[in-house]
Structure 1
Amino acid sequence: MKAWRTITVFLVVAIVAALSWHWLAADPGYVQVSIRGTKIETSVVAALALLLLFWFAVSVLWWLLRLPFRAWGRSVKRRGRERLANGLTAFAEGEYAQAERELGKAAKHEAFRTPALLVLARAAHERGADERAAQALDEAGPAAARAADALRARFLLERGHAAEALASLKPKTDLSLRGRRVLIEAALAEGDTQAALDALPVLARSQSLTPEAQAALETRVLGAALSAAPDATHLNTLWSTASRAQRKRPELVATFARRAAALGQTLAAMDEIESAQRREWNDDLATLYAGLGPGELDERTRKAEGWLDLAPNSAALATTLGRLYVQQSQWTKASTTLERALALAESPAAWEALGDCRRGEGDDASAATCYANALRTARGESGLPVATHRLPGRIDTRPIAVEERSEHGVPRLPGAP
C-alpha cells in the first residue's frame, strides 16, 4: 500500500511538471531588475531558479553559523542528563548529599529543572534538611505546583503532622493522584473518613494502582468509615452505597457486623455474616458470630449448629459454638464442644471460653489453668493439660475430626479442594 502511494505521488508530480513545462515553453515570461542604472533581464523561470539557489545558499550559511552553538547546546544537555542520571542513582542508593549536589547542578538546565528540583526536595527531606526541601519545592515553579503540594503534604505526614497535611490538601480541588493518596493517608490518620471516601473515586478511575492495591485501599477506607459510623442510619447508608464486590469482602462484612452489633443492630449483623458464609466459608466470620453481643442467642446457636454441615472440622466454628453455649450457661455442651475445638487447633479464644465454662461450673482451678493456657497459646507456647469431661471407666470415642470426601466419594484432607 505504501509503495503504491509513493508511485502515485511521483506520477502526479511528473504530470504537473510536464504540463507546467509546456505552459512556460510557450511564454517563459520576462523579468527586469534595475538598480542604479544597472539592468538585469531574464525569464521568469531563471528568476525563480536564482531565488531558490539564493535561499538554499542562505540556509546553508545559517546552518554553518549555528553549528557551533548547536554543538555547545548538545554538550550542555548531555551534561545535564548525566547529572540528572547521577543524582537519581545517588538518591536510589541513599547517598542523599551527593544526590542533592548533582540534582542542584542538573536544575540549572531549564529542560531538567522541574524533575531535578522535585527529587532534590525529596533527597533533602530524607537527609533532614527540611528548609532546603521547602526551598527546592518553591523554586520548582507553577509547572510543578501539584507535585510540590503532594510532596509538602507527604513530608508533613512523615513527620507525624497528619492534621497539617490534611489541612494543606483538603481545600485544593486540582490534586495530583499522589496528592489524593497522601490526602487519604492523612484523613485516615485524623479520622476524617469522609474526606478519604471522597478521594477514592478519582483514584479508581485513573487505574494508577493495580486492582489488588486499589481493592486493599478501598477496604481500608471503607472499613475505617464503617467503624466510625456514629449511628445505624449512617452505617446502613455507607453499606448500601458500597459496591457489590466490596460487600462481598470478608473484612468489610466483619467490620459492618461488628459495628452494627455495637449499635444494637444484631439482626443486620447476623444477616450479613450468614449471607457471606453461604457464598464462601470464612473462619474469621464464624469467630465473630459469637461476639455479636447478647442478642438473638438462640437463633445464632441454631444457625451455628447448622454450619457444622458446611465446616465440620473448623476449630473456629467449634469455638464459636462453645462460646454461644457458655453465654447460655449450657456448661456440658460448651465443655464438650470447646474440648473438641482445642483438639482440632489450640487458640487463645478457645482456652478463654473453656475457662469461662469451667468457672461457670464452679471449677476455679481448671478455669485458672485455661486462662493461663490462653496466654501461653497467644505467646506461641503449648497449653498445660486440663481435665476433660469423660465418663468414668469408659473410653471416649467421640471423633475429633470428621472425614471429608469429594463428590466421587474419595476421602480428602480438611480444606483440600
Structure 2
Amino acid sequence: MLNAVVISVLVMVILSLLRVNVLFALIIAALTAGLMSGMNMTDSVGIMIAGMGGQSQTALSYILLGIFAVMIGMSGITSALVNAMLKVFSGKKLILVFTLAGIACLSQNAIPVHIAFIPILIPPLLILFDRLKLDRRAVASALTFGLKFPYITLPVGFGFIFQGIIRDEMTENGIAISLKEVTTAMLFPGAAMIVGLFIALFISYRKDRVAKKVEEVKVQDIDIADSITEQKDVRWKVSHGFTVIAIIVALVLQIVTESLVIGALSGIIIMFTFRVVKMYEGDKVVNEGIGMMGMIAFVMLVASGYANVLKETGAVDELVEKTLAFTGDSHFVIAFFLLTVGLLITMGIGTSFGTIPILAALYVPVMIAVGMSPLACAALIGTAAALGDAGSPASDSTLGPTSGLNADGKHHHIWDTCVPTFLHYNIPLFIFGLIAAMVL
C-alpha cells in the first residue's frame, strides 16, 4: 500500500472529495508521487511540465470550441429554437424530454457548444415544465445523457477528443489501437447510457411532479423566466443562416481533416467574415470562451503531466505485480477492480477526459500482463473514465443541467441531478463495462 502510485492517487482523490480545486489536487498528487519515488521537488515539477505537452492539441481544441460556442450563442439562433419549442411541445411531456436529450446530443458534435446551450435554452422552458407537471429529474437525466452519450460513442466533436485521448494514451503506454477500434469498443458503454435513459424516462420519472422551492428565491427571480418566455419574439435572420453554414463547415472540415482545431477555427472565421459577430467583439468572445472551457483545457494538460510523473517513478511496474497477485489473471476481477478505481477517481476529479491519461498509465501495463485484447482495454478505460462523471457534483455533466433547471430555485443539485444520474447511468455503465471485458 506504500506504492508511490497508490499513495498519490489516494491523495488526489481525497483532496478532490474535500473540494480542493482539481488543478491543485493533480499538482500535489504528482509531486507526492515524485517525492515518494526519490525525486526532488525540482525534478518532479520538471517531469510534470514536460508531460503536459501530450495534451496540448486537446487543450487548444477546447479553447477554440469555447470561443465558437460563445459566438453561436451571440448569434441569437438558440433563442429562435426556444420559441419554436414553446409552441410545438405544449402538452407533450415525453416528446419534449427526448427532444431535449437530442439537442444536448447535438451540443457535443454537430454544434459543439458543450453546456453553453443550457443557460440559454432551459430557463425559459421552466414555466412550461411546471405547467406540464414534468419531473425535472427526468429533464436532468435527459440532459446528462445528451452531454455524455455522444462523446462516448461518436468520434465527432468532443467524441473525437475523448476517443482520440484513449487511442493516444493506450498507444503511449504500449497498446497500439486505431480510432475506429476505439469507436467499436465504446458501443458497450454507449448501450449502457441508452438503457439508463429509458429506465429514467419510462419507469422512474414518468409520473407528474410539481417542482418546489429548495432555497430562498425572491418572487421577481421566478418572474424572470416567465418574462423571458413572453417577451422574446425572435425571427429567422440572415445571420442565423450564416451561423448554420459556419456550423456545417466546422463539422465537415473536422471530419475530413480529423482535426477539431481546424474545424472550430473555420467556423470562427466564417462567423467573423460574415459579421455574425463583429471583429471588435473578438476580445469578448475569447475571454468568455476561455472562461467556459479554459478550466477543462488546463485540467487535461496537468493530468497529462501527472501521468508522465507516474510513469517516470517506476512504481507502475511494482503496482502491476501487486495487482496481479491480488486479482490473478481473471479478466472479470481485473475489470471490476479497474472500474471501481475509475469511479472513485472520476467522482473526485469530475472530468472523464482528464481521467484517461491517469487510468491508462496505471492499468495498460496490467492489461498487457494478462493478455487483454485492445478492444477490451479501450472499452474498460473509456467506461472507467465515464464512470462517476454523471454523478459527480463537480462534473460539467451535472453542473450544466442544474444551472438551467435551478434558475428559479426549484431544483436541488445533489438530489435532483447527481443522485438520479448516478443511479441511472453509472450502474448500467459498470455492468456493461464488465460484459465488454469478457466478450471483446
Shorter-chain TM-score: which interval?
Answer: under 0.3
TM-score by length of 2: 0.16
Which fold has the larger relative contact order, with Cα–Cα distance below 8 Å and residues 6 or more apart in sequence? 2
TM-score by length of 1: 0.17
More helix by share: 2
Structure number with bigger Rg = 1
